[in-house]
Amino acid sequence: MRRGIQIAATALGASVLLVLSACTTDPSVEPADNGTGQPSTEWFDQALFDKQDGERGVTPQGPQDQPYLQHINAEMVDTSQYTSPGAKKVCFANASISNPWRQTGWITMNEQLEVLQAEGAISQMETRDAQDSDDTQIADIDYFINEGDCDAFIISPNSTAAMTPAVERACETGKPVIVFDRGVQTDCAVTFIHPIGGFAWGIDTAEFLIDNLDEGDKVVALRILPGVDVLEQRWAAAEVLFDEAGIEAVDYFTGADPAEIKKIISDELAKGDVHGIWMDAGDGAVAAIEAFEDAGVDYPVMTGEDELSFLRKWKETGLVGLAPVYSNFQWRTPLLAVQMIFAGEEVPKEWVLPQSPITERELDEFLTANDGMPGGHYAKFGGEDLPGYPAVWQQRIIP
Amino acid sequence: MTALAAPARTRRVLTTTAIVYLALVAVIVLGAILVSVVANRNFFSPGNIRDILTGMSVLGLFAIGQTLVILGASLDLSVPFVASLASLLAAQTMAGGTGNIAAGVGIALVVGAAIGFVNGAIVTGLKVNGFIATLGTGLIVKGYLDTNYKGTAGSVPWEFQLIGATGLGPVPISTLIMLGLAALVALALRYTRTGHHLFAVGGNAEVARLSGVRTAPPVIAAHVLSSVFAALAGLLLASRLGVGSPTVGSQGGYDLLSIAAVVLGGTLLLGGRGGVAGTIGGVAIFAVIDNVMSVLQVNPFLKDVVRGVVIVAAVAIYTGRAIQRRRPRFSAKEELR
Amino acid sequence: MTLPPPRATTQPGAGLPSIGRRLANLGLALVSPRGAVFLLLLVLLVAIALLNPRFAEPEQFIRFIQRVAPIAIVAIGQYFVIVSGEFDLSMGSLITTQVVVAGNLIGQDDARILPVTLLMIAIGVIVGVVNGLVTTLLKVPSFIVTLGMMLALLGGVFWWTGGAATGNPSDTFRQLGRGGIRDLPVIEFLPWAVVVLAIALAAAIWFSKRPFGRAMIAVGDNVETARYAGIRVWATKTAAFVISSLSATIAGVLLVGYAGVHPSVGRGYEFIAITAVVLGGVVLGGGRGWVVAAVAGAFALEALFTLLNFADIPSTYRDAVQGVIIIAAVAYAAVTFRGRRQRPSRLAEPPAPSTSPPGEEPVVSATPAGSAPHPSGPDGTTQQGGQ
Amino acid sequence: MSAPVLVARGVGKSFLGVSVLRDIDLELHPGKVHGLVGENGAGKSTFMKILAGVYSRDTGTVSLEGREVDFGHPVQAMRAGLATVFQEFNLLPERNVAENVYLGREPRKGPIVDRRGMVRATRELLDGLGIDTIDPLTRVGSLTVAEQQIVEIVKALSFDARVISMDEPTAALADHEVELLSSIIRKLKERGVAILYVSHRLAEVFALCDDITVLKDGALVSTGPAAELTPDELVRRMVGRPLTTFFPEKEEGTALGDVRFAVRDGGNDYVSGIDLEIRAGEIVGIAGLQGSGRTELVEAAFGVEPFTRGTVEVDGRRLRLGNPRRAVREGIALVTEDRKAHGLALAQPVLDNALLVIRGVFPGRTRAARHEVPGILSSLEVSARGGLAQEVRYLSGGNQQKVVLAKWLATRPRVVLLDEPTRGIDVGAKVAVYRLMRRLAKDGVAQVMVSSELPELIGMADRILVLRDGRIAGEAPAGATEETLLALAAGTVSDGTVDDGTVSDGTVAEAIR
């Protein structure tokens, strides 16, 4: 207990001393210029919906066989101010590698890094992993700003609104900032890399189900968890379309747990017929299909993801399906963008990568291409030309 | 005239808290060496110190409250959800307006206190084990959050964000606030009746009762404070995030981590012994280890392995020692030693 | 003091309850915390059947049992740990570990089923032994030990596999969780999982009646007494942890069959298991509880979730309902039992009545034992207060 | 005589229709010690608890300083100036002396607890009792039992109590500590405090008390000046039968056999130089002051805190008894001093407790033991309302002790170590324990009996070893006097075997002081 007083005294003394010393308010924290972070409890956004709907039909520009360098409706920005020779140090603030999609991308990114290191474009990449925590990622970004000795920042935000101030602080350093996957509410980054988006996913999948089902049919929507924008937008679009088409859709949160998924489907089948399954992410798709098998009823029309376990089950069962894609190859693009930026090449301000679902017609092609990959691998990972292919992905070697 | 043999009780024994801080020093020294040798960085650079202290502030706030409930022989598993709720309520109330800061903070703290009161009432009134009671209320709050919030909401004004982003030299304001509150709580435990009674109830509720202590109020107070501290942590998180978030509390795994930090700080999980000073030491140990692992870019999965091993190993070292210390009680035994 | 003992039963040596008493006990049992869970389960099942009559069909119902089997088995394991006075928070992580191990090491090669199964059992035993020995020999609270194990196991298995398993193991291996005996009368289909659950429950009942099982409960009630009685406390508690880890292993095998491989399989099972056990009236802190009730708790919990699904209640409410139920169940038990069991030496028990004076015949007397404070002879045990 | 400070008239109490206290009248006067004696279960504790506010009385009145009072809680009574020192300590081991003394009413300056004042006041109270060895800042857990007792008394004094009642304050104290307590009580008398003193130690009662009230079966037998009573008369009023019936004679056919259990030069951290031989059929008594190593000796023999030096032999075989399990396997049983802490699993039924050792150590014998246990229990006259299924926590102390005995009998032990086997149990149960010991002796069991009650040792043991400071200070034969044993225990005569059982009076007086 005596220590309590000591601590108190020390804390008091220390604070007085510190007050006397210079106050070091972080200069980059500034009054927000507009009302950042408007309440976003409603995910449907007609403008964004229309934009992404349009982007689906656009033929992307860029090298034909390198989807990770293609872009859609890009407004190019000049990066000559960053032109600088030599190998650069990149600091990567990653949200997490806590799901198979991120793990696959993370492996790809590291292979891309090796290539660029070999080319002399990048000296090293220092990574801090926030383990799904906003607070940790903010601290990570601040650490990079203060201690990282970084030439460029790559940030894969854990959440949109929360990461905005920290990304702005990184921009303040004058070094190029690249944001990818989830976005932030600022355009200070040199480029924001992402596939078309959640609404496009929702439109692709919902339209597929609507086409293959009749009015009044029932669709069970399996969702991982609430509150993640890229996932919420997928459902927001699909829900609207189902509504319009008169499809009865019920949604559940599953935590991606296949046991949970199986129970939900079993209960739904016990209640009545289920004609379609819609998923906001492919993991657990196999369990959903197996629930139909176990109940001894016909396979549903189904949308999953380009996750291999789903593709294989799809092939095996021959059900009517679609594998929407949230392009995993986007994990290559940020490092390539770094190279381009320091070379002074112009890059898209908003780098919209192509995002096209795998249809039944393409199924065999992707299955063959990804033969030997684990179930949690993503077919459109786009790393076939990287040095570690295929062993690194097959063995899932995580740095 | 006293025939009592005066046992040699005057020998100095290291207090538990001293051990915790010795361990902290050891971790810092080891970490500093690792950081400079392996990563070629300066562990004591302002940016790194700031990173460590920032890591301490949030967990520290949670752990201060957790210390109180554990001293009272209870637990609080609801803190992450209370923090999330507080961040949302504050951010929505403030809605970016400077004038609403007080209201936002007030609402968050009042709601936090109310949840804490419910926890305390369930534990003391319905005699439900603290583990179960707070697991239950935590789930209820989580259900509310999941049902009513579909993502981050609200926004806090710039002035409020300064709390999370400003520092005096390398020391973040938030850390100073946390340490200040820790000192306040330490003083409260020592200099208020409720503090004394909390130790008594946690140590032996029946003895406390027979001594005229009403056993419920200290436990309720501890739960209220625990939830208030969780709400404070939520406010700090809102300040750092700029928005409220329904998942920000659970993201950090603060429920189990804060309990681990408290036990690491030498507080008895069964209650009645310990204090805030040790807890801060425990929190600091975690923060330093996390920082070192991040600087060394340890695989995030491996980080969890290290955390798990450290928690168990540290507590094992500490408990092994505590058992040794308690044995000699009778003069006859000691004289023979 | 001469208490004129009104002798209800005067048969010498009558140590067994009479038939009438047994009947009375049965009546009381349904409202006791131990019996309440069965009542709750019944109510929930009836409610589900009302919402969805198909549920009551034997075939559907057996499917329901199949689905609950993993949770029920985990609850059995958690029961033994809790009744011996400890916690096991590492069960969920261990399930995930086993699921991933099965997926990665068995793959599609049936020849590897046996060795990998043995490996999984070995992993289970090792985890249980480590939990048990660190808890008993190093005196670290099991809450902390198993929390550390939870982090280390999950981190370790992800580190090893890169976060995702190769894929589902072979269908042969998955039969246990997914398949069953077909073409039976009435139920048509008897899932293996149901058989496994039945065996596990029978084994658990058998074990808890065995000397070792009774010793385990005694250890949970009072460690010191058990030690002075020559019981190896470390071995007994370690055995409880091993049982728990093995039950997690079995649950993992069933789940990998039922659901397949995914890193999220098993997540949160430790808290679900604790909830189930507590719903079954088992007291945290040890020494009290019935394994069948713990299993009934698992069924009640799962029935509750099923009811929510059938009632079209948004799945986000599920947590909240679980929260309310768990508090209510324990509050009910606590109000009924009243005695707080965590620290036997500090029990505020009412002073017990004196026995009849010397010269009286031995009786199973009807003195109001313990039901009210009674004057007692000095119970001169000096208590130095606490531990 | 001054006006009484406390007057009880016609106090009665019944539980569930069973009258346990009837029509008790009693007066306490300032500066006087009032002894309250009676057999266990006579109603002493109930009466004290009524005064203290633990129980409410059904009939009668209690007035304190002329005003009628009715306390609903011990603290109310304390605030009114009536403090009670209960048998079981109400102290927190993790808190310091001052914090314990002022628990529940910490002095404050404004909202702040005045720690300095609290410590000062505690020190003053201790000084007032002439205690300078206890620091108010010491953690209570590190104090000896006697020191904790003093802290309890200081706590009572801190209420500025005019009446202090003490429930067997010396039960756990060694004799020199009892003397210290007596001096404290005399100091309290000088201050004009009225003391109600409950004790089983009649010598103490005569030495300290000015008045004595005798209760029997919940009724008042007599109340009056101590000087009007002789010890014999007092005992007669208490028990209503001669003292000799307490200790049953040896059963016919009891004979000493070979050495069954032997320790040679045994020692560990707590005891040293222990040489001990027990023959089959023999009862060896162990006497000694509290803290002299009595409990430590039997715990060492049982492997709880095993001997680290010397050798142990059972039936002539040299063994290493490293833990209780080993000891149990060798046929050794230990009936512990604190049955709730070490002897029983309170939430388990009678049957499970009785089978505990069998199940834990000899699981193969469970089935057989299961059949024997009801017989053992009934031969011990265990009374439990719920029969074998009754949880033992609801049994009386005597019945609980019998369950402990049954637990060991079921193992058919060859060596039985009994540590304070009759502590806190009623007369009937005591006699049952004695009879059992005689029967075991006849069956050739070697027994060790540790007791603080010298008459019990003298009445039961074949010979008595006296421990002092962890060593055997001497041995006395069956017929030794209490004085002899005391002298050995207190170290006022040189170590060795006392043959004639007599020591000069001067030495004894010295010993007692």
CB B139 within 8 A of CB B19: no
Phi, psi of D85 (to 5 degrees): -105, 105
| Cβ contacts of B131 on chain C, cutoff 8 Å | 284
Q: Which two tokens stand for residue D105?
A: 């009413």
Residue A242 is assigned to a structural domain of this protein: yes
> Which residues are D311's β-sheet partners?
D264
The amino acid present at B61, given as its one-letter code, is: L
From A3, A43, A135, residue closest to B150, measured CB to CB: A43
Q: Which two tokens stand for residue C66?
A: 């199949």
From chain A residues 217-256, the ones with a CB under 8 A of any chain C CB are 226, 250, 252-253, 255-256
Domain enclosing residue A176, as ranges: 66-197+327-355+374-394
Sign of the C-alpha dihedral computed for residues D297, D298, D301 and D307 taken in this order: negative
- Four-CA torsion C366, C367, C371, C375, nearest 10 degrees: -170
> How many helices, marked H, and strands, marked E, lie in chain A?
13, 14
Average pLDDT over residues D134-160: 85
Closest CA in chain A for residue B149: A41
Instruction: End-to-end CA distance of chain D: give it in Å, rounded.
Output: 30
Q: What is the DSSP string of D121-155?
A: HHHHHHHHTT--S--TTSBGGGS-HHHHHHHHHHH
| CA–CA gap between residue C18 and residue C15 (Å, rounded) | 9
Query: Looking at residue C311, what DSSP letter applies?
Result: T
Give yes or no for residue D424 having a pLDDT over 80: no
- Whether residues A156 and A92 fall in one domain: yes
Using DSSP's 3-state secondary structure scheme, residue C160 falls into helix
| Lowest-pLDDT choice from A47-61, D30-44, D107-121 | D30-44
- Judged by a CB distance cut-off of 8 A, whether residue A103 touches chain C is yes
Give yes or no for residue A8 having a pLDDT over 80: no
pLDDT at C21: 67
| C-alpha Rg value of chain C to the nearest Å | 24
| CA–CA gap between residue B55 and residue B288 (Å, rounded) | 9
pLDDT at C226: 94
- Whether residues A103 and A184 fall in one domain: yes
Q: What is the 3-state secondary structure (H, E, C) of A211-231?
A: HHCCCCCEEEEEECCCCCHHH
Instruction: End-to-end CA distance of chain C: give it in Å, rounded.
Output: 34
Q: What is the DSSP string of A14-60?
A: HHHHHHHS-EE--TT----SS--S--------HHHHHHHHHHHTSPP
Residue A11 is assigned to a structural domain of this protein: no
- Cα–chain-centroid distance for residue B277? 10
Phi, psi of B37 (to 5 degrees): -75, -50
| Cα angle A17, A18, A24; round to 5 | 160
As to burial, measured by CB atoms within 10 angstroms (0-12 exposed, 13-18 middle, 19+ buried), residue D2 is: exposed
- Whether residues A70 and A193 fall in one domain: yes
- Whether residues A72 and A190 fall in one domain: yes
Give yes or no for residue A23 having a pLDDT over 50: no
- Whether residues A74 and A182 fall in one domain: yes
Give yes or no for residue D505 having a pLDDT over 80: no
Residue A86 is assigned to a structural domain of this protein: yes
Using DSSP's 3-state secondary structure scheme, residue C325 falls into helix
Is C320 within 8 Å of B299 when comparing Cβ atoms? no
- Which of residues D131 and D261 earns the better pLDDT score? D261
Ranges of chain B whose pLDDT falls below 70: 1-14, 320-337
pLDDT at C128: 97
Is D428 within 8 Å of C359 when comparing Cβ atoms? yes
Is C331 within 8 Å of B128 when comparing Cβ atoms? yes
Q: Which two tokens stand for residue C313?
A: 């209640």
What size, in residues, is chain C?
Answer: 387
Sign of the C-alpha dihedral computed for residues A251, A254, A258 and A264 taken in this order: negative
| CA–CA gap between residue A124 and residue C178 (Å, rounded) | 48
CB B56 within 8 A of CB B116: no
pLDDT at A42: 72
**Structural domain count, chain A:** 2
- Whether residues A191 and A72 fall in one domain: yes
Q: What is the DSSP string of D301-345?
A: HTTSS--SEEEEEETTEEE---SHHHHHHTTEEEE-S-IIIII--
From chain C residues 95-134, the ones with a CB under 8 A of any chain D CB are none
Is C267 within 8 Å of A253 when comparing Cβ atoms? no
- Whether residues A339 and A304 fall in one domain: no
Query: Looking at residue C2, what DSSP letter applies?
Result: -
Residue A134 is assigned to a structural domain of this protein: yes
Burial D110-125 (b: 16+ CB within 10 A, else e): eeebbbeebbebbbeb
Ordered by where they begin, the domains of chain D are: 6-245 (3.40.50.300), 257-512 (3.40.50.300)
Residue A43 is assigned to a structural domain of this protein: no
Phi, psi of B251 (to 5 degrees): -55, -40
Give yes or no for residue D502 having a pLDDT over 80: no
D513 pLDDT band (50/70/90 cuts)?
very low
- Whether residues A176 and A240 fall in one domain: no
Query: Looking at residue B11, what DSSP letter applies?
Result: S
- Whether residues A148 and A230 fall in one domain: no
- Whether residues A82 and A130 fall in one domain: yes
Q: Identify the helix (H) or strand (E) that includes residue D472.
A: strand D471-477
- Judged by a CB distance cut-off of 8 A, whether residue B150 touches chain D is no
- Nearest Cα of chain C lies from the Cα of D17 at a distance, in angstroms, of 10
- pLDDT tens across C295-314, in order? 999 999 999 999 988 888 88
The CATH number for A114's domain is 3.40.50.2300
| C-alpha Rg value of chain B to the nearest Å | 21
As to burial, measured by CB atoms within 10 angstroms (0-12 exposed, 13-18 middle, 19+ buried), residue D227 is: exposed
| Cβ contacts of B140 on chain C, cutoff 8 Å | 319-320, 323-324
pLDDT at B329: 30
The amino acid present at A94, given as its one-letter code, is: N
Sheet holding B171-172: strands in order across?
A: A23-24, B167-168, B171-172
What size, in residues, is chain B?
Answer: 337
CB D459 within 8 A of CB D246: yes
From chain C residues 5-64, the ones with a CB under 8 A of any chain B CB are none
Is C215 within 8 Å of D359 when comparing Cβ atoms? yes
Residue A33 is assigned to a structural domain of this protein: no
- pLDDT tens across B10-34, in order? 444 567 888 899 999 999 999 999 9
Is A165 within 8 Å of B46 when comparing Cβ atoms? no
- pLDDT tens across A260-277, in order? 999 999 989 988 899 999
Is B312 within 8 Å of C148 when comparing Cβ atoms? yes
Residue A135 is assigned to a structural domain of this protein: yes
CB A159 within 8 A of CB A182: yes
| Cβ contacts of D95 on chain B, cutoff 8 Å | 196, 199-200, 203
- Which of residues A358 and D170 earns the better pLDDT score? A358
- Whether residues A230 and A378 fall in one domain: no
Is B153 within 8 Å of A126 when comparing Cβ atoms? no
| CA–CA gap between residue D121 and residue D99 (Å, rounded) | 11
Residue A364 is assigned to a structural domain of this protein: no
User: β-strands D259-267, D274-279: how paired?
Assistant: antiparallel
| C-alpha Rg value of chain A to the nearest Å | 23
Is D328 within 8 Å of C345 when comparing Cβ atoms? no
D239 pLDDT band (50/70/90 cuts)?
low
- Residue that is last in its domain, among A278, A299, A322: A322
- Nearest Cα of chain B lies from the Cα of C108 at a distance, in angstroms, of 27
Phi, psi of D251 (to 5 degrees): -75, 155
- Cα–chain-centroid distance for residue B309? 20
Ranges of chain C whose pLDDT falls below 70: 1-34, 164-165, 336-387
Closest CA in chain A for residue B304: A131
Number of neighbours of residue D190 by Cβ within 10 angstroms:
9
Number of neighbours of residue A253 by Cβ within 10 angstroms:
20
Using DSSP's 3-state secondary structure scheme, residue C100 falls into helix
Is B204 within 8 Å of D92 when comparing Cβ atoms? yes
Give yes or no for residue D99 having a pLDDT over 90: yes
| Lowest-pLDDT choice from A5-14, A114-123, D393-402 | A5-14
| CA–CA gap between residue C141 and residue D254 (Å, rounded) | 51
Phi, psi of D221 (to 5 degrees): -95, -50
- Cα–chain-centroid distance for residue D416? 20
Q: Which two tokens stand for residue C65?
A: 């049992």
- pLDDT tens across A47-103, in order? 999 999 999 999 999 998 899 999 999 999 999 999 999 999 999 999 999 888 999
Using DSSP's 3-state secondary structure scheme, residue B153 falls into strand
pLDDT at D174: 64
| CA–CA gap between residue D142 and residue C354 (Å, rounded) | 34
- Judged by a CB distance cut-off of 8 A, whether residue B47 touches chain A is yes
Residue with tokens 């039968």: D241
Sequence-separated (6 or more) residues with CB below 8 Å from residue D11:
D21, D23, D24, D25, D26, D47, D50, D57, D59, D60, D61, D62
- Whether residues A112 and A100 fall in one domain: yes
Burial D22-49 (b: 16+ CB within 10 A, else e): bebebbbbbebbbbbbbbbbbbbbbbbb
| Cβ contacts of B305 on chain C, cutoff 8 Å | 151-152, 155-156, 159
pLDDT at A399: 81
Is A270 within 8 Å of C262 when comparing Cβ atoms? no
| Cα angle D132, D174, D466; round to 5 | 135
Is A259 within 8 Å of C258 when comparing Cβ atoms? yes
Sequence-separated (6 or more) residues with CB below 8 Å from residue C26:
none
From D94, D145, D293, residue closest to B272, measured CB to CB: D94
Average pLDDT over residues A275-285: 91
Number of neighbours of residue A78 by Cβ within 10 angstroms:
10
CB D298 within 8 A of CB D336: no
Number of neighbours of residue C318 by Cβ within 10 angstroms:
21
pTM: 0.87
Ordered by where they begin, the domains of chain C are: 52-342 (1.10.3470)
Q: What is the DSSP string of D262-290?
A: EEEEEE-SS--SEEEEEETT-EEEEEE-T
Phi, psi of A129 (to 5 degrees): -105, 120
